[in-house]
RNA sequence: GCGGGAGUAGCUCAGUUGGUUAGAGCGCCAGGUUGUGGCCCUGGAGGUCGUGGGUUCAAAUCCCAUUUCUCGCCCCA
């Protein structure tokens, strides 16, 4: 039983029984994107390492310890994409999409790679569905992206989730908050965990959402961004909240919410599901108004959202949501004996040529065994062809749900099935 | 990187204080219908008990190592 090879740690095979669900969710996502005006973009699976190192932030967990890096023979450093936004921005800049349209709205379905210890809902290779909007700082767009996300979750069957919302300011107002935070923490540095003492030096904002109890206790009254944001950010955030309220999208303000990458500005949000164990974040996103410029494009405000498809499906499973998967609705052709088999090959070929999904047996089984296979495949009709049928140039057609059976001329088969 | 749990048939698992040919349910195959699915009945195939070593007359069972999976911490989707 122990096969010689297994899928590498943190990866897994998605078998046909599961891919149906994946395709369904992806199609809901694509439909939703069409409704909101997002068009698909596909970027390479790997990018230059520098793209991620410089733009996600060197101190982030992803960059400092979770990237799949490799070198080409020529010594170029490449990395399997650990997130979807930076590559999308890179493509936007590479092709100067800002010159084509004032506002560009794109979506992607991409495999993401992070070298972490796998556990429930966390894989080294996972799939993210995401959208990005370039070219406007209108808070209505923040609300649109968030409502897109919330709408998508509901559409696919998840109505139990919490939307956490925060603003993390901009380069104008962040330094002031940072200074206040450092001042506040300085005297309590001893109470913090080792990681946070390190963060104090390298990435103070991240101390705020540390999960360590001692840190949470020590930082209860720490200065939060919302009290330090500049007028523009405060105004922007107020409008986002107003839009969401108007759209009847419930949210919870979380002034300790900090996103994992350095490029975020202003609006930050996260969707949390209680159905998953430790990995409860099913999606998240935020604004990144300076990233396009940092990557080399013209100053262009932008906002995006990404969700983990693997986790979404786990959540749907945990919630026992029944997805409306389409039955196969195909025709199975059962041939009896050698002549019947030959006739079946011809019949299947003819059905397919006319756009009717059809399949047959290739293992020389008895009619009974072929019927069982047809049943298991969920065939709607079974066409039976034996010596009797061949002699009269007819086929026997069995409706698998009603068990009704009738004989009809071979020449009428395709038309009859198409009319059903 | 750190900590817990588990590896017995395709799947989910049982296996009593170590003791003959290692079991069940589901699935699979065949028969019960000389050409007919779902339900039912009967039979069958399928396992070097993760791997290596040790203890013992005897190991799926005890000990050690190793490996894989899994859950959690950190962090994220």
Confidence (pTM): 0.92
- Per-residue pLDDT of A186-208, as tens digits, reads 888 888 887 888 888 888 888 88
Class of domain A16-173+229-318: alpha beta
Asked whether the beta carbons of A185 and A200 are under 8 A apart, the reply is yes
**Nearest nt (C1') from A395 Cα:** B35
Output the distance from A1 CA to B9 C1' rounded to whole Å. Answer: 9
Q: How far apart are CA A335 and CA A360, in angstroms?
A: 8
* CATH number of the A331-418 domain: 3.40.50.800
Q: Which residues of A198-215 are buried (b: 16+ CB within 10 A; e: fewer)?
A: ebbeebbbbbbbbeeeeb
**Nearest nt (C1') from A84 Cα:** B77
Q: How far from A190 is each of A201, A202, A217, CA to CA, in Å?
A: 14, 17, 13
**Nearest nt (C1') from A121 Cα:** B77
Q: How far apart are CA A84 and CA A118, in angstroms?
A: 20
Name beta bridge partners: A306: A130, A284
Tokens, residue A196: 């946070």
- Per-residue pLDDT of A148-157, as tens digits, reads 999 999 999 9
| Mean pLDDT of all residues belonging to chain A | 92
Confidence category of residue A3, pLDDT binned at 50, 70, 90: low
Instruction: List the nucleotides on chain B closer than 7 A to a protein CB.
Output: 1-3, 8-11, 28-31, 33, 35-38, 47-48, 50-51, 68-77
**Nearest nt (C1') from A311 Cα:** B77
Output the distance from A377 CA to B28 C1' rounded to whole Å. Answer: 15
Place of tokens 């299947």: A348
> Strands A381-385 and A46-48, how do they pair?
unpaired
Output the distance from A370 CA to B34 C1' rounded to whole Å. Answer: 17
Q: How far apart are CA A280 and CA A308, in angstroms?
A: 11
Output the distance from A355 CA to B36 C1' rounded to whole Å. Answer: 26
Residue with minimal CA–C1' distance to B67 is A2
Output the distance from A343 CA to B40 C1' rounded to whole Å. Answer: 34
Domain range list for chain A: 16-173+229-318, 331-418
- Per-residue pLDDT of A309-343, as tens digits, reads 999 999 998 888 888 887 777 899 999 999 999 99
Q: Give the containing element (helix H, strand E) for A418.
A: helix A413-418
Q: What radius of gyration, in Å, describes the C-alpha atoms of chain A? A: 28
What is the interface pTM, i.e. ipTM, of the complex?
A: 0.86
Output the distance from A12 CA to B54 C1' rounded to whole Å. Answer: 36
- Per-residue pLDDT of A373-401, as tens digits, reads 999 999 999 999 999 999 999 999 999 99
């Amino acid at each position: 039983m122990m096969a010689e090879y297994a899928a590498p740690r943190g990866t897994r095979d998605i078998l046909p029984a599961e891919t149906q669900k994946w395709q369904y969710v992806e199609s809901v996502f694509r439909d939703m994107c069409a409704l909101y005006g997002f068009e698909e973009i596909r970027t390479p699976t790997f990018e230059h390492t520098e793209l991620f190192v410089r733009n996600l932030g060197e101190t982030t967990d992803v960059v400092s310890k979770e990237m799949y890096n490799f070198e080409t023979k020529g010594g170029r450093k490449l990395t399997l994409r650990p997130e979807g936004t930076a590559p999308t921005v890179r493509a936007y800049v590479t092709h100067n999409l800002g010159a084509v349209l004032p506002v560009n709205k794109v979506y992607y379905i991409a495999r993401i790679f992070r070298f972490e210890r796998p556990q429930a809902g966390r894989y080294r290779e996972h799939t993210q569905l995401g959208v990005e909007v370039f070219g406007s700082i209108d808070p209505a767009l923040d609300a649109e992206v968030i409502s897109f996300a919330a709408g998508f979750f509901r559409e696919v069957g998840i109505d139990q989730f919490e939307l956490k919302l925060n603003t993390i300011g901009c380069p104008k107002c962040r330094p002031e908050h940072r200074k206040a935070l450092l001042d506040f923490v300085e005297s309590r540095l001893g109470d913090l965990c080792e990681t946070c003492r390190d963060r104090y030096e390298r990435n103070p904002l991240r101390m705020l959402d540390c999960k360590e109890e001692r840190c949470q206790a020590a930082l209860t009254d720490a200065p939060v961004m919302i009290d330090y944001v500049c007028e523009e950010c405060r105004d922007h955030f107020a409008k986002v909240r107003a839009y969401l309220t108007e759209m009847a999208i419930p949210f919870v303000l979380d002034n300790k919410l900090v996103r994992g990458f350095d490029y975020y500005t202003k609006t930050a949000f996260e969707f949390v599901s209680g159905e998953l164990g430790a990995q409860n974040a099913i999606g998240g996103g935020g604004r990144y108004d300076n990233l396009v410029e940092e990557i080399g494009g013209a100053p262009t405000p932008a906002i995006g959202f990404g969700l983990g498809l693997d986790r979404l499906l786990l959540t749907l499973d945990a919630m026992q949501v029944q997805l409306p998967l389409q039955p196969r609705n195909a025709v199975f052709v059962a041939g009896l004996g050698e002549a019947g088999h030959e006739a079946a090959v011809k019949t299947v070929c003819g059905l397919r040529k006319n756009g009717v999904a059809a399949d047959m047996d290739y293992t020389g089984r008895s009619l009974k065994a072929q019927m069982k296979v047809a049943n298991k495949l969920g065939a709607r009709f079974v066409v039976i062809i034996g010596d009797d049928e061949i002699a009269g140039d007819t086929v026997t057609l069995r409706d698998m749900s009603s068990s009704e059976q009738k004989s009809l001329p071979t020449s009428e088969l395709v038309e009859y099935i198409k009319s059903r």
